[in-house]
Amino acid sequence: MNTTNLLMVLAVVAVVASAVVLVNYVAISRTGMASSDIGNVTLVIESKIDINFTTRLLDWGTGNVNASYTWAYLNSEGVNINNLSWLNVTRGLVLQSDSSMNLTVNLTSSKSAFTFLDNNVVVSPPSNFSWKVNMDPATNDFGSSAGETGSCNASLAPTAWSPVPITNVIICPNFGFGTGANELEIDIALNISRAAPVGSKNVTITATAAPI
């Protein structure tokens, strides 16, 4: 009788020991399945400088100075005085920036008034050739969309008529690139002497840009 009771107790102990081993095994297996890795997202933002004339040609056609006057005056704001048959031009050259940064913009003319209109000949009165920057689409361009307010600091841009020189002129030291503020209109004015030599007249205006 005593022997039988002893065997039963040992059997129960064996079962409990097996359960402990199983629990330890499961815990070890879960730890071994953990994993990690690292992913990367990379890109490069490059700078972009891109300006272009969206309106690049001003053409007053053919005409002459009214014989009753010593000069004729034409400008790209639609002013047309003392002339016979020259066309009416109502928009200047329009410069747009598709860049990714603010720019300093310079203008260069291939000729002065003396070489452009007077063919290097001294005449009386001498002809004049001027330009200015317009940043307001509602000013003097008959409602057409050209210059955009905010494209440049008006206090630093030549917004009043000034004689066109041969050398570089900064027309905007901080030309913007944001939508709605990235266009400048360069208006042109010609005061043509009645004594100016006849013939075809042409001048090239070049815009250059550099990062601020």
pLDDT in tens, the chain (212 residues): 444 333 333 333 334 333 344 444 444 455 557 788 999 999 998 899 999 999 999 999 999 999 899 999 999 999 999 987 899 999 899 999 999 999 999 999 999 999 999 999 999 999 999 999 887 654 444 334 455 666 786 556 778 899 998 778 888 888 888 888 888 899 999 999 999 999 999 999 999 999 98
This prediction's pTM: 0.76
Q: What total number of domains does the chain contain? A: 1
In a domain, 89, yes or no: yes
Is 108 within the bounds of a domain?
yes
Domain that holds residue 81: 51-211
Q: Between the CA of residue 126 and those of 80, 114, 192, 198, what are the distances in Å?
A: 18, 8, 8, 14
Max Cα distance, the chain (Å) = 150
Q: Is residue 98 part of a domain?
A: yes
Domain membership flag for residue 9: no
Q: What is the per-residue DSSP string for the chain?
A: -HHHHHHHHHHHHHHHHHHHHHHHHHHHHHHHT-----------PPP---EEEEE------S-EE-TTSSEEEEETTS-EESEESPPP----EEEEE--SS-EEEEEEES--HHHHTSTT---SSPPEEEEEEE--TTSSSTT---S-TTSS-TTTS--S-EEPPSS-EEEEEEE--STTS-EEEEEEEEEEETTSPPS-----EEEEEEE-
Answer whether residue 15 is part of any domain: no
